[in-house]
Structures are given as structure tokens and as C-alpha cells.
Amino acid sequence: MSVRDAMRRLIPPGSYVLFLFFLTGIWVAISPFVMTTQPSGQHWMASTVNNVVIGTILIVVSLFGILGYLVFALRDLLAEAQARQEIAEHTSPSGE
């Protein structure tokens, strides 16, 4: 297996979607401050609290999703490498 194939399997297309959700979460969380809908120095309005909470949820869920993708892909790659190694040991001529 080439490095390119391994990286393609380690970072599947679904991870890119989760990365876009991560960026969306960042934007949703900071948008009240960037767009100045939240007055400076004032208590947070309900819409600001809503944006920050929803943005944080998007960030956390997408990070867990990306981490899950990477962990399971790495587990599969390691299992495949171990299986190939075992096959190679059984098919190679032994020194006995």
C-alpha cells in the first residue's frame, strides 16, 4: 500500500465535511462579536448566548467526529498491516 492510499484511507471525505462543520461552529460562535450585534461591554443578549452555545456544540461534535474517523481508520490500517505480516510469515520459507 502506498503512502497516498494510506493517507486517503486515514483521512476520508467525511472528515472534510466535519472540518467544514468545525469552521462553521467557529463562525457561529464568534459572529455576534465580529458583526457587532452584541454591544461591547454589555451583558450577553439571548441571541449571543444562543450563537456561542450552538457554535460550541458544533465545534465539539465535529472534533469528536474527526477524532473518531482517525482512530477507526488507524485501527483498520494497523489490523491490515498485522494481517499482511502474519500472511508473509506463513508463506515465507522458514529456516528450519
pLDDT tens for residues 14-45? Answer: 788 999 999 999 999 999 999 988 888 889 99
> How wide is the angle at C-alpha 63 spanned by C-alphas 31 and 9, nearest 5°?
130
User: Model pTM greater than 0.85?
Assistant: no
79, three cell numbers: 489490523
- For 32, counting Cβ atoms within 10 Å of its Cβ (0-12 exposed, 13-18 middle, 19+ buried), the class is buried
Q: Is the pLDDT of residue 46 over 90?
A: yes
Q: Which of 34, 58, 37, 35 is nearest to 46 (CA)?
A: 37
